Structure 1
């Protein structure tokens, strides 16, 4: 933990590293978390429509993403998520209640909720004591998590712009957990694009690097118990 961490930052980092899904779900409505992340309680009861989010409201979705994140981190990166990745999972849809628009036929749009949440990163960095590198990575993950789902359909220049970022492994990790937590009509969830991300990285750079962690080029080929673990959540 960096020396720059504030008391609120140390509290939140320890909490996210050790809390269970049920504990996090309760915390979304508790004063201490809302003092650090104002209006997190508004995720509770914020419905998302039934076209992509049969799992429930934004609070339920957020808890699912946070609970799933470590499973994908172990599978693809051979490690636990770090604080920035856990924090990004917690706040990626933070501003959906503010961005929510009404629409017909089951679809509920949340225009620009990614940018609204990313705009809060300088304030959060001061409140939590993030390092400049952590602040930049948090902003990148949150601001681009919507684009990550659209990755196969982006123009080549857009894919390369994302893939050349040194923060791309953390974004790919959130995309996997986020996609798995979007339950679609007819069964299943949104597609996980990990292999596409990895292939782009290998083509552009010959492999991923993220801090001191080397992106494992064949990680997705290994045997894993991730799906058994996910169903046990």
Structure 2
């Protein structure tokens, strides 16, 4: 049995052995690049994040590693006896927890299968991974700026009416954002922003030059923002022209 830190090292070795970059692994597993890095080498994250165990199992299963993962770090000799006495209780808890998660996912996907098909299933799984990967609360208002505000830069504001998940590339730099109800975020860019995925898009309002852009769809892919407007399928949602 391997603890999460050991499992992370094994997964990193296997990824490098296969010649995979973290970006390529992200496209395959839908786990954000930053989370893959933490799973491989961030001991503090592995010890404290409640979902690290689940996400590590996704990597181990993808690689086909014959490794049984323990959620706990390697126990000291003084604690081995106590942990042995509690192992059955812990196994029962984790079994019930992951059984509940599995049932939730099956029901969630099944509820939309007849309408949206395979693409919707992939979207739901990706949104679920993003939700569990970033469980910590953020302030009601914050900024994400990869460059200083100066001549030639542009900014937009996002407001969440309820939970929203976004994967954005701001001037080529990836950022995964989770917004809760009422939160606002300011994004500053010089060239463009590409929103690769917006989950629960109907809960999001984008402010561009004091003009609102809202959506009716649940999931949106490939939304682009530049200094001229907000573009979806070649249509400028700000100016109402294609």
TM-score (norm 1): 0.29
Higher relative contact order (CA 8 A, sep 6+): 1
Give the number of the structure whose alpha-carbon radius of gyration is greater. 2
